[in-house]
């Protein structure tokens, strides 16, 4: 019998006998696995849901970090530009300040900054950004200051045009635009010319960029030419400014001749 089994003569018999046994075992095993999966699925789903929630929270946290880092990057870029400006004009001393609000009145073009007399600010100090002239300090408290922008309708600045080197007066308007007035008729001014502070009057340091001429109106019947200027500073997006602390506006009143009394 053993010799016949070793020789393989019993193979068909074993196949016939074993195949139903194997089939039954396979079926039982499958059913068991199905039942086992069915019983363990809720726990898996719960774990998956929990893991999903954890990952979503982590994603939200990372997104917040990304936004914060982007803001810091923007702030760094602004500060870096301001530092470049400060290095370009090393003769002045600066105090950096953030713009924290605007004047509640829509008639005025003022901003509020978070530096004040405690930081060395005084009334009349010039305010700039890396792009150019912003305005001047008009009111100061201990920890904040009001800055009158060059676009304010009450603002007038004596300017010099490049390359003609002619002088004119730059004024603000209620819409925030800048207009050039009192340009001599003989002046050769063209759109694209640069507008810089002239230093005349002693209110602002000279040669600070203000903007670019966009249009000129010249009529023979007028005494002066006039024009409009596109400011280099975007006053709607002001975030950080520099206050020049070692340039004091000059008070010209003692130099003016006294008015004759009637």
Instruction: State the nearest-atom distance from the C-beta of 238 to another protein, in Å.
Output: 10
177/209 with CB nearer another protein = 177
Task: Check binding of 224 to another protein (CB under 8 A).
Answer: no
Among 100, 142, 143, 252, binds another protein (CB under 8 A): 100
**Residue 113 CB partners (closer than 8 Å, separation 6+):** 97, 98, 99, 100, 127, 144, 145, 147, 241, 243
Q: How far apart are CA 170 and CA 119, in angstroms?
A: 30
Q: Phi, psi (5° rounding) for residue 95?
A: -125, 125
198: which DSSP letter?
A: -
Task: Check binding of 122 to another protein (CB under 8 A).
Answer: no
The window from 35-43, 138-146, 199-207, 253-261 that contacts another protein (CB under 8 A) reads 138-146
Query: In the Cβ-directed half-sphere of 51, how many Cα atoms lie within 13 Å?
Result: 6
Among 126, 146, 158, 245, binds another protein (CB under 8 A): 146
Among 154, 219, 250, 252, binds another protein (CB under 8 A): 154
Q: How far is CA 186 from CA 165, 166, 167, 246, in A?
A: 12, 9, 11, 37
Among 81, 92, 95, 102, binds another protein (CB under 8 A): 102
Task: Check binding of 175 to another protein (CB under 8 A).
Answer: yes
Helices (H), the chain: 2-7, 11-88
The window from 80-88, 168-176, 214-222, 253-261 that contacts another protein (CB under 8 A) reads 168-176
């Amino acid at each position: 019998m053993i010799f016949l089994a070793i020789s393989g003569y019993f193979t068909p018999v074993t196949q016939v006998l074993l195949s139903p046994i194997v089939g039954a075992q396979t079926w039982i095993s499958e059913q068991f696995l199905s039942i086992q999966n069915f019983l363990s699925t809720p726990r898996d789903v719960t774990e998956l849901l929990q893991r999903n929630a954890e990952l979503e929270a982590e994603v939200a946290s990372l997104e917040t970090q990304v936004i914060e880092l982007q803001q810091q990057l923007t702030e760094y870029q602004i500060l870096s530009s301001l530092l470049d400006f400060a290095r370009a004009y090393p003769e002045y001393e600066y105090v950096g300040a953030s713009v924290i609000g605007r004047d509640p009145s829509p008639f005025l073009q003022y901003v509020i900054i978070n530096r004040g007399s405690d930081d060395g600010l005084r009334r009349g100090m010039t305010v700039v950004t890396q792009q150019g002239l912003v305005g001047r300090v008009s009111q100061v408290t201990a920890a904040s200051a009001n800055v009158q922008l060059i676009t304010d309708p009450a603002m007038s600045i004596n300017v010099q045009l490049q390359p003609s080197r002619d002088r004119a007066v730059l004024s603000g308007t209620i819409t925030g635009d800048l207009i050039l007035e009192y340009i001599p008729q003989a002046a050769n001014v063209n759109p694209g010319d640069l507008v810089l502070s002239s230093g005349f009057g002693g209110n602002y340091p000279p040669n600070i960029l203000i903007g670019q001429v966009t249009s000129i109106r010249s009529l023979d019947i007028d005494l002066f030419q006039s024009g409009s200027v596109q400011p280099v500073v975007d006053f709607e997006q002001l975030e950080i400014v520099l206050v020049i602390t070692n340039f004091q506006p000059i008070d010209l009143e003692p130099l003016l001749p006294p008015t004759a009394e009637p």
